[in-house]
Every structure is written in structure tokens, then in C-alpha cells.
Structure 1
Amino acid sequence: MAPIPFESNEPDDDPEAYAGMPVTAAEERARSRGWTTVRVLPPDAVVTMEYVAGRLNLTAEDDTVVRGWKG
């Protein structure tokens, strides 16, 4: 993979730690920790592969986060 051409200001936060949290609480926590964008997706959602620095992606089912990842 090519190096990132600019320094990102991503939070020092573990996206996987959001699993099991209610969606609303996870969104509030993410924003308070510095994520600029929080995207909540249904399971098996089709998403583009572009990487956006500062974005936290959350997969949620039944109002509970099941997965979190950067980008």
C-alpha cells in the first residue's frame, strides 16, 4: 500500500471497542473522542472503498453496534 500523502488527525481510539454499544451512545462517544464523521451502516451494506481520514464506520443491527472500523 502506498504511504498516506498527508498526516491525518485521526483520534487515538479503537474502532472495535464500539461493538456492543447502543448506536446513539456510540455516535456520541465517537464525536467526543474527535471523529469528524460517524457513518452508521446496516449489516452487509455496500459501500465504496475510499478512505476518509477522521471517519468512523459503524455497522449496526437492532440499534446495537456490531462492528467498527476507520475510514
Structure 2
Amino acid sequence: MGRMAPDTAPPTEPQDSPQGYVGLDAGDAERFARQRGWTTVRSLPPGAIITMEYRMGRLNFEVRDGVVTRAWKG
């Protein structure tokens, strides 16, 4: 039997636009993001101090009054 080549493909993120979450209820947005394959979903208040390291598969939401006002990868 032949040997299978190791999987050297880099991990992938969902093909999903963060902008599609802006304006959604934060709880719904998180649920949709997880259904679409995001492994980590982080909701933050406006102006939160966060580290800037990029994490593959993470989606960040800035939430004001229970609504996503900004969304970005990493």
C-alpha cells in the first residue's frame, strides 16, 4: 500500500464576511458564527483594550447595547 502524504495545507477559516454580522443581536451573531465554523467568537465592549495577536479561526465582535457594531477576524 502507498503511504499518504502528510496534510501540509494551512488551517482555513470560514469563507464568511465579518461585515455580515454588524447590526445583529450579539447572541444570534455568536450562534451564527459558530454554526459557520468559527472556532472562537469573542464579544467585546466598545473601546476594550485587547491584545493584537492574530488567531486563525477567531471572530471578534464589538458589542454596544446588545448589538454587534463592528466585526473582524483574528
The alignment's TM-score, normalised by the length of structure 1, stands at 0.89
4+ runs deviating over 3 angstroms: none
Identity of aligned residues (%): 53
Distance 2:11 2:18 in 1: 16
- State the match for 1:13 in structure 2: 16
Which structure is larger by alpha-carbon Rg, 1 or 2?
2
The alignment's TM-score, normalised by the length of structure 2, stands at 0.86
Structure 2 counterparts to residues 22-61 of structure 1, below 5 A: 22-61=25-64
List gaps (5 residues or longer) in structure 1. 1-5
- State the match for 1:64 in structure 2: 67
List gaps (5 residues or longer) in structure 2. 1-8
